[in-house]
């Protein structure tokens, strides 16, 4: 099952709005889509020239769509995904993105 286009646009817009334009040379929020999963990453510029030109990618959340509802997953220390069962499933990704962006949750 593919991610519905309106939902994907909502997620992409959310990622674009996280970081002010003047900081995009240092950090970004990006996502990848794989069938019915959208993985959100924090992407950071190299800290020093010794690190080369590779940006680092750290997974911060994954939204999974089952054809009806979205569910939110978080990464463990080994970047394996676990269901955040205290976050209810929703028909759109918006409420889950609000959880991802909430500093009190500590996902990011």
Nearest to 42 by CA among 32, 27, 54, 53: 27
DSSP bridge pairs for 64: 37, 71
pLDDT-based confidence at 51, cuts 50/70/90? low
Whose tokens are 């940006």? That residue is 55
Mean pLDDT of all residues belonging to the chain: 92
Using a cut of 0.85, tell me whether the model's pTM lies above it.
Answer: yes
DSSP bridge pairs for 51: none
pLDDT tens column, 61-107: 999 999 999 999 999 988 799 999 999 999 999 999 999 999 888 77
% residues pLDDT > 70 (the chain): 95
Q: What is the pLDDT of residue 50?
A: 66
Distances (CA, A) of 49 to 5, 52, 99: 39, 5, 35
- Residue 85 φ then ψ, to 5°: -75, -5
- In angstroms, the CA 62 to CA 72 distance is 6
């Amino acid at each position: 099952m593919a991610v519905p286009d309106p939902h994907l646009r909502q997620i992409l817009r959310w990622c674009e709005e996280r970081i002010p334009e003047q900081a995009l040379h240092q950090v970004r929020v990006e996502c990848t889509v794989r069938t019915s999963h959208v993985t959100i990453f924090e992407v950071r510029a190299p800290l020093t020239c010794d690190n080369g030109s590779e940006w680092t990618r750290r997974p911060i959340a994954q939204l999974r769509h089952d054809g009806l509802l979205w569910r939110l997953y978080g990464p463990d220390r080994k970047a394996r995904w676990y269901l955040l069962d205290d976050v209810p499933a929703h028909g759109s990704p918006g409420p889950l993105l609000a959880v991802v962006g909430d500093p009190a949750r500590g996902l990011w």
